[in-house]
Amino acid sequence: MKSLVVIGIILLGLGALLFYLNDMAIDLRVIYGALSGIGIGLIIGGLVGYVSKGNAVKEAQLRREFKTLQQEKAELELEKQRVENNPNSGSY
């Protein structure tokens, strides 16, 4: 995602540089606009992708933690049942 932003910045800069160096030639306006548009699109796409990936990673981590807590709780319940049902462990 970060590489998309870098490429977008390079393309946007290249479009702006060509635009100002060539004294706004009429024939090349389409190329300037295309380079700048692609650059802006890549920057926005890279940022959106980076943010959504971060949210997905956080959500996956929360799911793993919740699953671990559920397993620990199940193990505690099972151990508690074993202690209650074991006739040798009680006092007479």
Q: Residue 1 — very low, low, confident or very high, per pLDDT cuts 50/70/90?
A: low
Q: What pLDDT is recorded for position 64?
A: 94
Q: What pLDDT is recorded for position 12?
A: 79
Asked whether 38 and 65 are in contact (CB, 8 A), the reply is no
- Model pTM above 0.75: no
Number of neighbouring beta carbons within 10 Å of residue 85: 8
The arithmetic mean of pLDDT across residues 37-57, rounded, is 82
- CA–CA distance from 18 to each of 15, 23, 80 (Å)? 5, 9, 75
Q: By three-state DSSP, how is residue 38 classified?
A: helix
Backbone angles phi, psi at 7, to 5 degrees: -65, -40
